[in-house]
């Protein structure tokens, strides 16, 4: 990392803060049929907003985020069909698992400059 570059923690903080209300909604809404789905949908929306905010012009990153958010909602739906009370436990675990690959994918941005032909692009000057 170059000296003038700063790590982007805004996306991570936004997703972490969004995971708290999603977990709370899932834990408290286990008695209501439609409110059970609101927790996972809230977190999926937070994921999409956070990564769209991070890179608004990157269509590939947006598609990957939509796929991860869809997989998260699908997994929560499968759990809710069996026992809706488990969503209060599953949302933070699955949310962290859904968030980790998207967070780690942003740290590999230097590989693209090396593949384009500039082998010294990622070295500090």
Print pLDDT tens along the chain (125 aa).
555 445 567 778 888 888 898 888 888 887 777 788 888 999 999 988 888 887 777 777 788 888 888 999 999 989 888 888 888 888 888 888 888 776 776 555 544 444 555 555 555 54
Q: Which residues have CB under 8 Å from 39's CB, separation 6+?
A: 22, 23, 24, 25, 26, 27, 29, 76, 87, 91
The reported pTM is 0.70
Best CA proximity match to 62, nearest among 41, 8, 70: 70
pLDDT at 113: 46
DSSP state of 4: T
pLDDT at 27: 84
Q: Domain coordinates of the chain in residue numbers? A: 32-105
pLDDT at 120: 56
């Amino acid at each position: 990392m170059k000296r003038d570059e700063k790590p982007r923690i805004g996306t991570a903080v936004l997703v972490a803060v969004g995971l708290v209300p999603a977990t709370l909604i899932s834990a408290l809404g286990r008695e209501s049929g439609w409110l059970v789905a609101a927790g996972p949908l809230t977190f999926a929306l937070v994921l999409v907003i956070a990564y769209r905010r991070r890179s608004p012009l990157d269509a590939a990153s947006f598609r990957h985020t939509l796929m991860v958010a869809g997989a998260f909602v699908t997994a929560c739906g499968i759990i809710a069909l069996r026992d809706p009370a488990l969503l209060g436990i599953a949302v933070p675990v699955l949310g962290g698992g859904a968030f980790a690959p998207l967070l780690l994918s942003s740290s590999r941005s230097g590989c693209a400059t090396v593949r384009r032909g500039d082998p010294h692009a990622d070295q500090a000057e």
